[in-house]
């Protein structure tokens, strides 16, 4: 066996040995714990989601319900009945801007919709904030034509819903990270 082949074989053996040593360190985020400590699913189910404070019957109120419902489904799924250990307070603002203007009609043909959200996780036992964060979402939607006003309204609503889903996903990911790593 030549020296070059021996060197390659030794390197591969070293990599395999290191991989075998670190294989036991991996633990899936949502795995059940054998030692009796609550798993991530139970910790997420202990997060209380109060209604988002927005004026009744406004677009932002509908959007707040959409964000809250999407986040509740991501945290709890179809399970209920866990006593709350934390409260998550969410505040957000939305924006809309025109990206492209039709030169013939001077009306927008493509718009951008955005949500900027701030959230605060409060531990109920001590009533102290244990985590704060911000997230954002930007989605683009097309407006099919100036004669199709209902299509424009539907595209706008779909953009709101997509942005709300993205905000809920971002917050759920950050909460999962907090409960697993503690930071």
Q: Where are the domains of the chain?
A: 40-181
pTM equals 0.79
Reply yes or no on whether the pLDDT at 74 is more than 70: yes
Q: Taking each helix axis as running N to C, give the angle between helix 149-181 and helix 59-76, from 0 to 180 degrees, rounded to the nearest 10.
A: 40
Rounded mean pLDDT of 152-165? 94
Return phi, psi of residue 158, to 5°.
Answer: -60, -40
Under CATH, which architecture does the 40-181 domain have?
2-Layer Sandwich (3.30)
């Amino acid at each position: 066996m030549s020296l070059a082949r021996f060197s390659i074989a030794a390197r591969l053996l070293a990599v395999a040995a290191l991989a075998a040593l670190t294989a036991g360190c991996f633990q899936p985020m949502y795995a059940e714990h054998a030692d009796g400590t609550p798993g991530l699913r139970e910790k997420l189910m202990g997060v209380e989601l109060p209604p988002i404070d927005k004026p009744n019957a406004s677009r932002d109120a509908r959007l707040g319900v959409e964000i809250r419902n999407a986040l509740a489904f991501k945290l709890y799924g179809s399970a209920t009945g866990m006593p709350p250990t934390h409260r998550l307070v969410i505040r957000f603002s939305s924006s809309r801007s025109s990206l492209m203007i039709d030169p013939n009609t001077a009306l927008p043909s493509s718009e951008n919709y955005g949500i900027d959200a701030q959230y605060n996780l409060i531990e109920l036992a001590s009533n102290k904030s244990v985590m704060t964060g911000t997230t954002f979402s930007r989605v683009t939607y097309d407006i099919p034509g100036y004669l199709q006003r209902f299509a424009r309204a539907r595209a706008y609503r779909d953009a709101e819903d997509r942005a709300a889903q993205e905000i809920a996903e971002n917050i759920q990911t950050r909460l999962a990270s907090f409960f697993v790593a503690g930071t």
